[in-house]
């Protein structure tokens, strides 16, 4: 049997058992986006989820309450901040 291992924080996910389609809203699907953000806002592992999505370069869906576009902005800000650090 193949064992699948998930990060510890997924056990605490507020979205556990929910319809994953909510977290992958199509363009202009504000209802699913609103519901996803609302769920993430009350999630105990929001920070871990967002960080995992940023580190893995997750391009699709709502993770840690952020959209793809918002995560791109965060990555860009981090790259700029890292470039300013003394070498």
Question: Which residue, 15 or 25, has its beta carbon nearer to ligand SF4?
Answer: 15
Question: Which residue, 61 or 72, has its beta carbon nearer to ligand SF4?
Answer: 61
**Do the beta carbons of residue 37 and residue 65 sit within 8 Å?**
yes
**Do the beta carbons of residue 53 and residue 63 sit within 8 Å?**
yes
Residues in contact with ligand SF4 by the rule CB under 6 A: 13-15, 23, 39-40, 43, 45-46, 49, 62-65
CB atoms within 10 A of CB 1: 3
- Shortest distance (Å) from residue 38 CB to ligand SF4: 9
């Amino acid at each position: 049997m193949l064992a699948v291992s998930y990060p510890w924080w997924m056990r605490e996910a507020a979205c556990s058992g929910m319809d994953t389609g909510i977290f992958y809203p199509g363009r202009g699907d504000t209802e699913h986006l609103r519901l996803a953000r609302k769920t993430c806002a009350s999630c105990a592992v929001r920070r871990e989820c967002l960080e995992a999505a940023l580190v893995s370069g997750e391009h699709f869906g709502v993770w840690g309450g952020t959209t793809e576009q918002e995560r791109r902005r965060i990555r860009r800000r981090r790259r700029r901040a890292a470039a300013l650090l003394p070498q």
